[in-house]
């Protein structure tokens, strides 16, 4: 079977935060670059990373990714720290917008996905989100279940 011509062979998802869409109400998201060491990029190419417990914050006029895990690369002469702060690259306008958003009550910056873009560069999609309460999660599940039931009814005609 032939590949579709519009699919890019360089695009590859490295790590995904699947719980983020369940635990947070996402308002908007931004694609950010990330500053990494060479051994970190090699480790990401192998696929050894996790962003499930991480978050982003604005400190000292810069955007930082905190508590993301990138496994040490085994063949590196000088291995990197696995849970160090990593600087994210965004425009000044986006940085100010994110700073204003997280200064509001209950808002946070959550990484959704880390991936290699079409040029082979590592990017992180950061979401401006608000934490959901338990009843909000139940409402989301109920709406999702109702959507599934509607689809089932339309498909079977009962």
Per-residue pLDDT of 51-94, as tens digits, reads 888 888 888 889 999 998 888 877 776 777 778 888 999 999 99
Which residue segment(s) compose the domain that 77 sits in?
12-133
Report helix, strand or coil for 64.
Answer: strand
- Is residue 50 included in any domain, yes or no? yes
Report the DSSP beta bridge partners of residue 87.
Answer: 64
CATH number of the domain bearing residue 46 = 2.40.280.10
Per-residue pLDDT of 19-52, as tens digits, reads 888 888 888 889 999 998 888 888 888 888 888 8
- Is residue 155 included in any domain, yes or no? no
- Is residue 35 included in any domain, yes or no? yes
pLDDT of residue 142: 85
- Is residue 91 included in any domain, yes or no? yes
- Is residue 142 included in any domain, yes or no? no
Provide CB contacts within 8 A for 158, sequence distance 6+: none
- Is residue 80 included in any domain, yes or no? yes
- Is residue 144 included in any domain, yes or no? no
Domain count, the chain: 1
């Amino acid at each position: 079977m032939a590949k579709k011509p519009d699919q890019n062979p360089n695009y590859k998802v490295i790590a995904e935060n699947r719980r983020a869409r369940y635990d947070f109400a996402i308002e908007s998201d931004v694609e950010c670059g990330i500053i990494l060491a060479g051994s970190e990029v090699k480790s990401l190419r192998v696929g050894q990373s996790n962003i499930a417990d991480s978050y982003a914050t604005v400190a000292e006029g810069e955007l930082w990714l905190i508590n993301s895990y990138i496994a040490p690369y085994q063949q590196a002469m000088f291995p990197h720290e696995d849970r160090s702060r990593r600087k994210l690259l965004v425009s000044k306008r986006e940085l100010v917008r994110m700073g204003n958003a997280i200064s509001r009550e209950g808002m946070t910056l959550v990484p959704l996905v880390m991936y290699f873009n079409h040029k082979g560069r590592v990017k992180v999609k950061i979401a401006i989100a608000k934490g959901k309460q338990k009843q909000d999660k139940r409402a989301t599940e109920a709406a999702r279940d109702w959507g599934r039931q509607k689809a089932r009814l339309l498909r079977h005609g009962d």
